[in-house]
């Protein structure tokens, strides 16, 4: 027969387990929420990055346009000057300047083609990100609010579970409860474990014959020789 305290200790342990489980959940939920918030931030950043890349490319393209425009203007000026110069060397010098500018324009136009390709490519990335952004973020926000509701519900459950645990404490003497409590500080639940085939179901090691005998008598609380848990013989 098990010690008369065992039954009450098992109830205490059950309720303690519920409290601990709820506390674990309350620690875990905010971390998952944080992770989801980081996901939203990452999607927002990626979209922003793509947008600002596009803007930078557009600015580069416009600058090139301006430079091509002023080079063309300069060529026209040189051509007008050519109409006015008298000496052949001066005319040749201007022709040379015009050739240099024409080469420059052709280089810039080539560069612009490259930029246009980059813009097209980045536009595809941007549109793709923009296309899924709202839906993705809405989905994540939905998960967050589900988790927040679960958190609130768990907090309520914890209040109730703690009250149940407190109530069950009163069912045993303080000395017995303190013995239970000290065990929980050192080892994982269960700290009150049955003996099966002379084996402690807490540490799964075999107990001595004396311990088994003491548990069988059930006159006092028996502890496992190996792990120190309170052990009992299940009837
Ligand atoms: Zn043990």
Q: What is the distance in A from the centroid of ligand 1 to the CA of 201?
A: 7
**pLDDT (tens digit, 9 = 90+) per residue, 120-169?**
999 999 999 999 999 999 999 999 999 999 999 999 999 999 999 999 99
CA 195 to ligand 1 center in whole angstroms: 9
Q: Supply the pTM of this predicted model.
A: 0.76
pLDDT for 3: 73
What pLDDT was estimated at residue 212?
A: 96
- Compute the distance from residue 179 Cα to the ligand 1 centre, in Å: 15
Closest by CA to 234, choosing from 3, 46, 56, 73, is 3
What residues have a C-beta under 5 A from ligand 1, the ion? 200, 202-203, 224, 226-227, 229
Q: Are 233 and 218 in contact (CB under 8 A)?
A: yes
Taking only the tens place, the pLDDT of each residue in 2-60 is: 677 899 999 999 999 999 999 999 999 999 999 999 999 999 999 999 999 999 999 99
| Cβ count within 10 A of residue 24 | 11
pLDDT value of residue 235: 67
Hunting for tokens 């793509």 — which residue is that? Answer: 50
Q: What is the pLDDT of residue 2?
A: 66
Report the pLDDT value the prediction gives residue 1, as an integer from 0 to 100: 52
Domains in the chain with CATH codes: 4-172 (1.10.287.1490), 173-235 (no CATH)
Report CA(204)–ligand 1 centroid distance (Å): 6
H or E element in which residue 194 lies: strand 192-196
- Ligand 1 mean position, distance from CA 192 (Å): 9
In terms of DSSP bridges, do strands 230-233 and 192-196 run parallel, antiparallel, or are they unpaired? parallel
């Amino acid at each position: 027969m098990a010690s008369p305290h065992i039954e009450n200790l098992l109830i205490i342990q059950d309720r303690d387990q519920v409290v601990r489980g709820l506390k674990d959940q309350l620690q875990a939920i905010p971390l998952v929420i944080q992770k989801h918030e980081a996901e939203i931030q990452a999607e927002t950043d990626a979209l922003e990055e793509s947008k600002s890349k596009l803007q930078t490319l557009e600015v580069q393209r416009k600058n090139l346009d301006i430079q091509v425009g002023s080079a063309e203007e300069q060529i026209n000026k040189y051509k007008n000057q050519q109409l006015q110069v008298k000496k052949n060397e001066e005319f040749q010098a201007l022709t040379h300047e015009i050739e240099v500018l024409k080469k420059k324009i052709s280089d810039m136009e080539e560069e612009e083609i490259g930029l246009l390709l980059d813009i097209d490519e980045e536009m595809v990335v941007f549109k793709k990100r923009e296309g899924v952004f709202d839906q993705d973020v809405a989905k994540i926000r939905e998960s967050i609010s589900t988790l927040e509701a679960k958190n609130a519900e768990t907090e309520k459950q914890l209040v109730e579970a703690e009250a149940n645990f407190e109530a069950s404490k009163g069912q045993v003497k303080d000395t017995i409860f303190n013995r239970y409590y000290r065990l929980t500080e050192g080892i994982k639940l269960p700290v009150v474990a049955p003996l099966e085939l002379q084996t402690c179901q807490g540490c799964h090691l075999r107990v001595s014959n004396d311990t088994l005998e003491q548990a069988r008598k059930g006159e006092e609380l028996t502890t496992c020789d190996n792990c120190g848990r309170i052990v009992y013989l299940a009837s």
